[in-house]
Amino acid sequence: MKITVFNGSPQAENSNTNVMVEAFLEGARKGGAKTENIFLTHKKIHPCVACYCCWLKTPGKCAIQDDMAELLQKCYASDLVIFATPLYVDNVTGIMKHFMDRTIPAAEPFFEKDVGGECRHKITSKVPKIMVISNGGFPEQSHFQVLKLLFRRIARNMGTELIAEIYRGGGAILTTKSSLLWLPLRRYRALLVKAGEGVVKDGKISDGLQRELEKPIIPESRYIKGAEIYFRKALKKITR
Ligand SMILES: Cc1cc2nc3c(=O)[nH]c(=O)nc-3n(C[C@H](O)[C@H](O)[C@H](O)COP(=O)(O)O)c2cc1C
């Protein structure tokens, strides 16, 4: 099984999203998968300009010369693609959205009805199964409502399956080095490793593990207090 992660955090290797991704991929490799973790911010990805060359003039090939052609090939060659993104204004990051827009060469202009009776563009390329990994700064899991719907829609439009979702509210502490958080972060990381192994072996995350993954890493009140202290200290440093 080949798993490719497209990581949309501008913080790339140092991101909270990447902490989640790396632990998940560790588990996936234990399960026997081959993995690749790609940081979109290190790639040249221009916005789609809606010229429709990829549908009309050079079917399947975008007119823009950048890294997207290579990334699309990696996408098609994967069994599972993971969209990894921090939550930005309740949505994916800008670079992730550019990446997503630029996947339209995988389709044709012609409409077809899907099994639910809704129109979509006919897909001409081999589309892998998909998964989401995301973290946000607010503590509640409810902030991922938009992403939950978005990735269901994307799977439907692309005629593929959304096999797993890992959303982490209160995720801004994942890169924290504080010894006070060492144990809860280690516990959460272990759950992610298990999830990676489970997805490769069983094609999904078990209900029990999903429930564990959704639990707060630390109590909400402690997280909110920590955020307040962090931002007050940061402000003081700047205004000093
Ligand atoms: C432009 C911007 C918008 C953000 N919007 C949200 C948001 O809507 N909801 C949320 O919970 N966190 C939001 N955050 C906080 C990030 O999701 C949070 O800091 C996260 O841990 C960053 O992940 P990363 O380290 O993987 O980039 C936002 C941060 C930025 C910079």
Type of residue numbered 101 = D
* CA 121 to ligand 1 centroid distance, Å: 32
Number of separate domains in the chain: 1
Does ligand 1 come within 6 angstroms of the Cβ of 15?
yes
pLDDT for res 239:
86
The Cα–Cα gap between 135 and 126 comes to 29
CATH label of the domain that carries residue 186: 3.40.50.360
**In this structure, which residue's CA is closest to atom 17 in ligand 1?**
136
pLDDT tens per residue, range 175-216 = 999 999 999 999 999 999 999 999 999 999 999 999 999 999
* CA 136 to ligand 1 centroid distance, Å: 5
| Paired tokens of 215 | 């639990």
pLDDT for res 99:
98
pLDDT tens per residue, range 26-74 = 999 999 999 999 999 999 999 999 999 999 999 999 999 999 999 999 9
Which ligand 1 atom is nearest residue 91's CA? 8
Q: Residue 89's pLDDT band (boundaries 50, 70, 90)?
A: very high
With 0-12 / 13-18 / 19 or more C-beta atoms within 10 angstroms meaning exposed / middle / buried, residue 198 is buried
With 0-12 / 13-18 / 19 or more C-beta atoms within 10 angstroms meaning exposed / middle / buried, residue 86 is buried
pLDDT tens per residue, range 113-153 = 999 999 999 999 999 999 999 999 999 999 999 999 999 99
User: Mapping DSSP to helix (H, G, I), strand (E, B) and coil, where does residue 81 land?
Assistant: strand
The closest alpha carbon to 198, from 30, 75, 38, belongs to 30
| Paired tokens of 104 | 């339209």
The closest alpha carbon to 61, from 3, 125, 127, 111, belongs to 125
pLDDT for res 240:
76
The Cα–Cα gap between 133 and 128 comes to 16
On whether the CB atoms of residues 41 and 12 are closer than 8 A, the answer is yes
pLDDT for res 127:
94
* CA 7 to ligand 1 centroid distance, Å: 14
Does ligand 1 come within 6 angstroms of the Cβ of 88?
yes
pLDDT for res 207:
98
pLDDT for res 108:
95
pLDDT for res 34:
98
What percent of the chain has pLDDT above 90? 99
On whether the CB atoms of residues 19 and 189 are closer than 8 A, the answer is yes
The Cα–Cα gap between 16 and 194 comes to 18
Within 10 angstroms of residue 18's Cβ, the number of other Cβ atoms is 24
Substitution candidate for ligand 1 out of 87, 147, 168 with most atoms within 8 A of CB: 87
Structural domain harbouring 150: 2-239
